[in-house]
A and B are shown apart, each in its own frame.
Chain A
Amino acid sequence: MALVEFADFSFKYLGADSLALKRITLTIDEGEYVVITGPSGCGKTTFCRAINALVPQFHRGYVAGNVYTDGKNTRENEVATFASVAGLVFQNPENQLVTLDVEKEIAFGPENLGVAPNEIRRRVEELIELLDLEELREKHPHEMSGGEQQRVAIAATLALKPKVLVADEPTSNLDPQSAETILEIISHLNKRGMAVVLVEHRLDLVAQDASRIVLMNKGRIVADGDPREILAMDLCEEIGVGVPKATQVYKRLRTRGVELGTVPLTGVELAELVQEATSR
């Protein structure tokens, strides 16, 4: 059974002119690292929220089709049902920290679900260690940097022991170093077995870690597959997706008759391919 299954799912927000999601069908299995990308307004954000039932339970509107997360239908279950299955991390770190210190924040989720106090305490300590939050223990959220806040937000989400981490542009508001740290954490979690769904514009940062890229445009899925294959497609430029620079160079060389073989995702890979090409 797939972890997340979209079955011909469509959604339109109340008062909107058009559908935000049009007949989405796809599955996500355990352990995958799926990057969702596409131009602004393509439906990526709505997609994330459809995984844990925020759409359609919290954001009401017109719904068609179904989404099954961990086997449960999101149209028939409350958001809270999915709290321990899909952990959502959002773009603005400040709006995810609702308590006055780190311990309470991490405890917030499990407390809501009635987990036993000593189990909560155990999880809090475990996560503080995992995400290196010891120094932040007593800090007020307002005193933390964006990167620190986002780390705490991730810890707070992990406290519910979700099977999939759904992150909607988690690094957009962060400086480059914090962004790198957060993405490393996410990659590390994936390597330990957690499924990840990540929405990101800046593919330069995440293409190498992804096991799969899904391209969306105007509410539809227009491509879905291996990152290198997808990014090599001209479709990316047509819809306005930010293809990694190294891949762009590869494609431009290709139009000039130079074929480097594999599709590079990073500058270093590109350099290696050029090297190989000259030694042939």
Chain B
Amino acid sequence: MIILEDVHYSYDGVYTALRGISLQIDDGERLAVIGANGAGKTTMMKHMNGLLRPQKGRVILDGQDTKYMSVAEIARAVGLVFQNPDHQLFLDSVKKEVEFGLRNLGFTESEAEQKRQKTMVNLGLEGFTERSPFTLSGGERKRVALASVLSTEPRFLALDEPTIGQDAHQKSLLAQMLTEMNKRGRTVAVVTHDIEFVIENFPRTIAMADGQIIADGSTSMVLSNDEVIERCALALPQMTLAARALRNVFPEVGQRLTLLSELEETIMGILGGA
């Protein structure tokens, strides 16, 4: 679906953010991008929807070089949801806000109306149709921002730090929603610091450091890699710490354990046998 070929990018020709990024994301994948602040995660994401253009290398969307496509054109296929919903909300009703993207991308009245309604129902926003987004709570505004990007039904959805400030319930709702979207064919990518969220929901992880991709593969493999842990400034999740501590005493404990349910089963096994 989207391919980055040896992409290089520097801000103002001074600060090199990307030093040769190459990756391929196929249709229907679900992945997370992790890395320390300044590793280039957001810069890379912005190349995927054309906000930034590679100074060297190419970005290929559905087989086409994005060089000659405008951001608006790319937005039909790639939807990027930013961290702060208040950076997007400016209209006086949730309805208009969700419609906005649809209008910009040239859908007809009826198509737009249908898609808008569908999206709002999916995100539980029908109750807020005529409300001004500014009167909604933080979490609700986040949903409105998400809805406004989802309404145009981009085949690739990328979210920048969607879990910041969310409580456990909101996070699990988000995870559920992303997983469902992915099951129905949408490609989903998330940039995040929240390792627990990554472990529980994303089978593939791309780890970045200093403008390069240092690991790209299955989440459990990438997150057991010591180099990744160090260079991405990760805090080891409690499950990993538990697994490691157990492994010292029970060598049969698996190498790649990171899911809570896996650890639970392993412990049952250990105690059952004792």
Contacts and interface: CB of A to CB of B under 8 A. Distances in A.
Chains A and B share a contact (CB less than 8 Å): yes
A272 B245 contact: yes
B23 interface: no
Contacts of A242: 167-168, 171
Interface stretch (B51-59, B90-98, B110-118, B230-238): B230-238
Which of A146, A172, A242 gathers the greatest number of chain B CB atoms within 10 Å? Answer: A242
Contacts of B138: 40
Interface residues of B, number: 38
Contacts of A253: 264, 267-268
A248 B274 contact: no
Interface in A15-55: 38-41
B24 interface: no
B225 interface: no
A189 interface: no
B127 to A, nearest CB: 13
Contacts of B137: 40-41
Given A40-B137, A201-B168, A271-B245, A277 B233 contact: no
A256 interface: yes
B42 to A, nearest CB: 13
Given A175-B233, A278-B274, A241 B168 contact: yes
Interface stretch (A61-69, A127-135, A262-270): A262-270
B168 A240 contact: yes
A249 B168 CA distance: 16
A95 interface: no
A245 B260 contact: yes
B28 to A, nearest CB: 29
Contacts of A176: 193, 195, 233-235
A277 B239 CA distance: 19
Contacts of B171: 242
B167 A245 contact: no
Interface in A222-258: 240-246, 248-249, 252-253, 256, 258
Interface in A158-203: 169, 172-173, 175-177, 179-180, 201
Contacts of A245: 196, 237-239, 242, 260
Contact of B260 (A248, A256, A278): A248
A247 to B, nearest CB: 9
B177 interface: no
A173 B166 CA distance: 11
Given A175-B36, A267-B240, A267-B242, 7 more contacts: A39-B167, A173-B164, A175-B37, A244-B238, A249-B260, A252-B264, A271-B241
16 contacts: A39-B167, A39-B169, A40-B167, A40-B170, A91-B165, A145-B37, A176-B195, A176-B233, A201-B166, A242-B168, A248-B260, A249-B260, A253-B268, A267-B238, A268-B241, A274-B270
